[in-house]
Structure 1
Amino acid sequence: MNTATSCAEAVTVSPEITDEERALFQAVISTELADWQVDQIVTPSKIYPRQEKVLAVHWHPEFVPLDLISQRVETMFPNATDKLLIPTQHNVLMNYGPYTGVEVDCYASGFNQKVQLLLHFENEKVKDADVLKSMLAHTFKYRSSQLFEYMDTITKPNEERINIAARETGADENLVKMVKAYVTKMQTMLDENWSSIPKSSIKNKLIKNYFDGLRPKYGDNLINRVQAYIKGIKLLVKANFSLKFFYRATEVIEEARSLGGCVVIPHPEEFWPILLAKYDVDGIEAWNPQSQRYTEFLISVVNEQNNSRPAGSRELLIFMGDDCHMSEKTKPLDTQDPAKAAREIGLQPAWDDLNIRKKLIVAGIDRQTAITQYRERLAG
């Protein structure tokens, strides 16, 4: 680590792209796995021999092969007697075993905000789902375009957003110039390599991962300051990203229902107001590694709604979402986000929390009940 360059004042970035910078860019966009990455994927940090039921309907394989994911899950839960695992890649249908899933970005007009929905299907039901696939392709392309707006905000630049982010994160003029210089190079390399870049790599985290790759050169102190600054910009870009090009949540739900699919509301801390709109959904996550504030409240709300539902209507189911992003397992341990790295497919401690279990008992649901009932709905 070069501690001599721990301050942005000491950094001068040449506009020329070096071979070292090109190699780093290729490493960041690559979806090929080295042997050490495979070892990290198939070797979980902890094993759970007493968990016999594994329910996971909100997780992201990203570029990690499903056979390696299977090895990890089998190792983590060696005594599992029943499993329901459905991947939910962002805006891309992906199947695992008998089921296909996706997490869709869409627009809730009643709340004037972007929301996400989990769609789940038996594989055969989406074999010829041309309309849904076209909707997802459009959404994937538009969602990916946020990276370009993110980069342009830094390099054009958008002075208002730059000033806000710099002020809120304490970034000085030299750090702002350094970030602009490197993101400009990233844009150039993105254009130069466009035809060969995996489309799954075109996302906001490309910038974060590239700067993480500069830690050996600049040290943690400076790169941590950079990461705080670019995160501030990213949040401003996301907050101002136009919603008009997303499909409405009702349109996504209608298409999923027409194919015989099921729908779950994820990210309860952000999206629980959807319950007020009474959309045609099968259930809601009451817990998520980044959304734990409303768990007991949401379980009570779902229970009340189920008790007052019209005769013949289906109950809302309760889920816990691990929201595991498998690409985090492929990073060097010293650059992993500890909170994200701790997420595991099927690991949802809320099911076993004593206070939460009291609410779940009243609601008449546990892991096995959720697995059984949801499997029945998927087959319906």
Structure 2
Amino acid sequence: MTSNQEKLCGCPGDVKVDPEITDDERQIFRDVTSTELADWQIEQIVTPGRTFPRQERVLATHWHPEFVPMEHIEKRVNAMFPNKQDEMLIPTQHNQILSWGPYSGVEVDCYASGFNQKVQLLLHFENERVENAHVLKSMLSHTFKYRSSQLFEFMDTITNHHEERIGEAARNSGADDNLVEFVRVYVTKIQQMLDESWSTINRSAIKNKLLKNYFDALRISYGDTLINRAQAYLKAVKKIVKRHFSLKYFYRATEVIEETRALGGCVIIPHPEEFWPILLASYDVDGIEVWNPQSQRYTEFLISVVNQKNANRTPGQKKLLIMMGDDCHMSEKTKPVDTQDKVKAAREIGLQPAWDNLSIRKKLVLAGIDRQTVMNEYRERLAG
């Protein structure tokens, strides 16, 4: 470890980082933006840490393959649920339609004008319904590009001395001037390498997570203490950038729903805990996700909300379905185990323990709902 690096591991003094990009730093950039999988990564993907031989129904309508090929995901799912008798798996990549078996899906960012907030919707289709969905695909392409642009605003905030934002982030995370400068120099390098590789880089790598992954890879050089401080500061900056990110360039939720309905697709509201007003918006949706790993606190209450809405629905109005989502991000499975986010890594496609929770299941039984009834009903709706 160099004397500069020793200073950076929590010791006081000026922090000096060479602004020139080293070969090692370029290799880190290639590694964190690569979508090619090494043999050890493939083995890690297809070999789950746990299996669930007693689960015979696998329902998963909210999960993200990211850059992991479906063939590897299929092997993992089959290994996790060796005795499954029925399955309904629909991928929901962010702002990009992907398919599994007979179904296609996407999780789309959009704007809820009624309460001035970004929300997300899960869209599901039979495959043939989106083969010529040119308008929806154009809407998603625009949304993907705009959503990705948040990374550039994130980096620009750090490198171009947006004093007000930087000051707030430093106060909120306890970052001193040395740490702020350390992060600024490295983010400047990342910007330069991103520009240099623009014509060849996989667009899926252009997301806020790029900075987190790059700084995690610096732990070998600088140690956990410094990088943990840097990550806290980056998280504080990202939170501020998200707060100021303009919503006017997203499509309205009603526009997304209308286009989905025109194609014969279905719509689910995911993790409503993050934006409660959406439950009052009376959107034309097929169901509400009452549980996922990020939204567990109000599951029983949300089931009651759905049941009440169903009891009060008007003649001819569709019954709202109770859904659950695992919100699994498969890229987490490709990282070395010691660098994985343990909470995110624990998420698995089709693993939704709430279905079998005794307290929750009691409410589901009264509503006449289980995995199989939801799968049967949703198949009928998707078939139109």
CA-atom RMSD in angstroms:
1.2
Q: Tell me whether 1:261 sits opposite 2:265 in the alignment.
A: yes
Matched with 2:88 is 84
Q: Using the alignment, how far apart are the partners of 1:24 and 1:178 within structure 2? A: 17
Once the two structures are TM-superposed, the CA of residue 311 in structure 1 deviates from its matched residue by 1.2
Deviation, structure 1 residue 8: 6.3
Residue in structure 2 matching 1:6, options 6, 9, 32: 9
Shift of 1:344: 0.3
Deviation of the 1:138 alpha carbon: 0.3
The answer on 1:43 being equivalent to 2:47 is yes
Q: Trace 1:330-349 onto structure 2 (pairs within 5 A).
A: 330-349=334-353
User: Aligned to 1:198, which of 179, 199, 202?
Assistant: 202
1:1-380 → structure 2 map (5 Å cutoff): 4=6, 5-7=8-10, 9=12, 11-380=15-384
Q: Structure 2: 5+ residue runs without aligned partners?
A: none
Counterpart CA distance in 2 for 1:55 and 1:367 is 7
C-alpha distance in 1 between matches for 2:11 and 2:151 = 24
Aligned-pair CA distance for 1:7: 1.7
Q: Secondary structure at the match of 1:273?
A: helix
Q: TM-score, normalised by structure 2?
A: 0.97
Distance 1:362 1:166 in 2: 51
What secondary structure is seen at the aligned counterpart in 2 of 1:311? coil
**Cα distance in 1 between the residues matched to 2:82 and 2:115:** 43
What is the Cα deviation at residue 268 of structure 1?
2.1
3-state DSSP class of the match of 1:233? helix
Local SS of the residue matching 1:75: helix
In structure 1, C-alpha distance between the alignment counterparts of 2:164 and 2:299, rounded to whole Å: 37
Deviation of the 1:9 alpha carbon: 4.2
Unaligned runs of 5+ in 1: none
Q: TM-score, normalised by structure 1?
A: 0.98
Tell me the distance in 2 between the aligned counterparts of 1:248 and 1:68.
35
CA contact (8 A) 1:265 1:271 kept: no
User: Counterparts of 1:44 and 1:272 in 2: how far apart (Å)?
Assistant: 34
Q: 151-160 or 256-265, which moves further after superposition? A: 151-160
Report the Cα distance in structure 1 between the residues aligned to 2:180 and 2:240, rounded to whole angstroms.
Answer: 16
Cα deviation, residue 272, structure 1: 3.7
Alignment: residue pair count: 380
Deviation per CA, 1:73-97: give whole Å up to 9, x if none: 0000000001000000000000111
User: Which moves more between the two structures, 352-361 or 69-78?
Assistant: 352-361
Letter in 2 for 1:168: N
Q: What whole-Å deviation, never above 9, does each CA across 1:101-149 have from its counterpart, x for those lacking one? A: 0000000001100000000000000000000000000000000000000
Report the AA paired with residue 173 of structure 1. D
Pick which of 259-268 and 7-16 moved more: 7-16
CA distance in 2 between partners of 1:245 and 1:334 (Å): 39
What percent of counterpart residues are identical? 72
Distance in 1 (CA, whole Å) between partners of 2:306 and 2:280 is 11
